[in-house]
Amino acid sequence: MGKKKEKQHETEQNGSSFSNEKHPKKKRKKGEKPKDQQNDCVSLANEIPTVSIALPGSIIDNVQSFELATRLAGQIARAATIFRIDEVVIFDNKSTSEDASTEIIENSDENESGAAFLMRILGYLETPQYLRKSLFPKHSSLRFVGLLPPLDAPHHLRKHEWASYREGITLENLDQGSTGSLVDVGLSKNVMIDQVLEPGKRVTVAMGTNRQLDAGLPRKIVPSSRPREDGMYWGYKVRYAPNISSVFKKCPYQGGYDHRIGTSEHGLVINSSELTLPSYRHLLIAFGGLAGLEECVEEDENLKGKNVRDIFDLYLNTCPHQGSRTIRTEEAIFISLQYFNEPINRVKN
Ligand SMILES: C[S@@+](CC[C@H](N)C(=O)[O-])C[C@H]1O[C@@H](n2cnc3c(N)ncnc32)[C@H](O)[C@@H]1O
């Protein structure tokens, strides 16, 4: 999978950096975040503990066919959802420390890099079915996604289901004088929200209690993290990091990841029931590729002279006495997330 690129607009939305946002954005001041990201930053300050996983995009590069690569990406999406992961970071081993997210997510042909492929499929699967057509233009990398089992996450609501929140997409505003916008939230009718937003934007709508879609007050847009604050799992975000040091440096959470765990067969063996995690705010669990995290750290110029034990608070073997000589990354993700499940729940409670 090579690196040919075409143009695709980017927008940071829940779930992924992909969108077919058709309207040019207003110019922002240098360093200023788009409005929806500003919202997210505010909400992140509310400090619901988060769990992120990081894994290399290179795990896709060694897969023999598109179908198998798609299945692998699907397994990672399932693992992230089953274990309520908030953020999936896909890293490369590039020498640049520039955040090349815009480049990596630019529309590309079937030769796109493993990282771009993985991000596209993860983002697609995280998006509720009724929004996919609008947010994901046709792409050859998506040709086998129909084979994948659905994530069946709580925000993947069906037409007849009512929930306190729904993911939606803002629609073209036909009424010039209107003080609100219409949003397609995957119900039989579109709902009105109390602010005018550019069309093509993914939003989280607080549905309120009035189930009548025609009548009543317009509904409110909330930060995509709000359902989490109410205890619901609301999908994962997908982020790109050009190298492993950028996984940490570009952490979107205030104060960064305050507990970092690396996984490896060379790690420490601790029984899951005896593992005590500190009361973290933002936990990161990292996985390596074919040659492990050790090589990822060695190859990163920003980490010269450092080894895995310098950059992680814990370096753990989550599957001691393995029978196979190698545990593949996608297998290690399931094994490790199950291993961490109980220690994480103990911290939460
Ligand atoms: C093919 S393995 C890499 C093998 C490498 N020698 C290593 O460091 O584990 C790919 C990834 O799976 C995970 N992994 C493999 N075996 C593991 C184990 N016993 N415990 C925890 N993670 C493991 C690690 O994240 C590793 O980087």
Question: What CATH number does the domain containing 70 carry?
Answer: 3.40.1280.10
Phi and psi, residue 244, nearest 5° = -70, -30
The answer as to whether 4 is a domain residue is no
**Co-location of 121 and 189 in the same domain:** no
CB-CB contact of 188 with 211 (8 Å):
no
Which numbered atom of ligand 1 lies nearest the CA of 294? 8
**Co-location of 56 and 136 in the same domain:** yes
- Tell me the pLDDT band of 348, cut-offs 50, 70 and 90: confident
The answer as to whether 102 is a domain residue is yes
**Co-location of 66 and 106 in the same domain:** yes
The predicted pLDDT at position 48 comes to 86
Residue at a domain's end among 227, 244, 275: 227
**Does the pLDDT value for residue 31 go beyond 50?**
no
**Co-location of 340 and 273 in the same domain:** yes
List Cβ neighbours of 95 (8 Å cut-off, separation of 6 or more): 243, 301
Q: What is the DSSP letter of 314?
A: E
Stronger pLDDT, 149 or 1, i.e. the higher one: 149
**Does the pLDDT value for residue 234 go beyond 50?**
yes
Q: For ligand 1, which residues put their CB under 6 angstroms from it?
A: 263-267, 287-288, 290, 292-294, 317-319, 322, 326-329, 332, 336
The predicted pLDDT at position 284 comes to 98
Distance 328 CA to ligand 1 centre (A): 7
**Co-location of 240 and 222 in the same domain:** no
The predicted pLDDT at position 164 comes to 95
The answer as to whether 310 is a domain residue is yes
- Tell me the pLDDT band of 23, cut-offs 50, 70 and 90: very low
The answer as to whether 3 is a domain residue is no
Mean pLDDT in the chain? 86
Structure tokens at 223: 């930060």
Q: Which amino acid is at 257?
A: Y
**Co-location of 121 and 248 in the same domain:** yes
**Does the pLDDT value for residue 33 go beyond 60?**
no
**Does the pLDDT value for residue 281 go beyond 70?**
yes
- Tell me the pLDDT band of 25, cut-offs 50, 70 and 90: very low
The predicted pLDDT at position 38 comes to 38
Phi and psi, residue 191, nearest 5° = -110, 155
Residue at a domain's end among 227, 246, 272: 227
**Co-location of 134 and 216 in the same domain:** no
Per-residue pLDDT reduced to its tens digit, 303-326: 999 999 999 999 999 999 999 999
Distance 347 CA to ligand 1 centre (A): 25
pTM beyond 0.75: the answer is yes
Per-residue pLDDT reduced to its tens digit, 46-56: 578 999 999 99
CA 73 from centroid of its chain's CA atoms: 12
The answer as to whether 342 is a domain residue is yes
**Co-location of 286 and 344 in the same domain:** yes
The predicted pLDDT at position 208 comes to 87
Residue at a domain's end among 204, 227, 250: 227
Task: For ligand 1, pick from 55, 60, 263, 319 the residue to mutate: most ligand atoms within 8 Å of CB.
Answer: 263
Helices (H), the chain: 35-44, 58-61, 66-82, 101-104, 114-126, 129-135, 226-229, 244-249, 292-299, 308-311, 329-348
**Does the pLDDT value for residue 120 go beyond 70?**
yes
**Co-location of 72 and 178 in the same domain:** no
**Co-location of 146 and 198 in the same domain:** no
Per-residue pLDDT reduced to its tens digit, 76-116: 999 999 999 999 999 998 877 666 665 666 656 667 899 99
Calculate Rg over the CA atoms of the chain: 20
Per-residue pLDDT reduced to its tens digit, 129-171: 999 999 999 999 999 999 999 999 999 999 999 999 999 999 9
DSSP readout, 109-172?
Answer: -TT--HHHHHHHHHHHHHS-HHHHHHHS---GGGTTGGGSPP---TT---TT---SEEEEEE--
Domain, as residue range, for 194: 165-227
**Co-location of 176 and 245 in the same domain:** no
Nearest CA to ligand 1 atom 24: 264
**Co-location of 119 and 255 in the same domain:** yes
The answer as to whether 10 is a domain residue is no
Which numbered atom of ligand 1 lies nearest the CA of 328? 1
Q: How large is the average pLDDT for residues 193-215?
A: 90
**Does the pLDDT value for residue 3 go beyond 50?**
no
The predicted pLDDT at position 40 comes to 46
The answer as to whether 110 is a domain residue is yes
Q: What is the DSSP letter of 225?
A: T
The predicted pLDDT at position 42 comes to 39
Nearest CA to ligand 1 atom 3: 292
The answer as to whether 91 is a domain residue is yes
Count of Cβ atoms closer than 10 Å to residue 252 Cβ: 18
| Structural domain count of the chain | 2
Domain harbouring 182, CATH code:
2.40.50.140
List Cβ neighbours of 146 (8 Å cut-off, separation of 6 or more): none
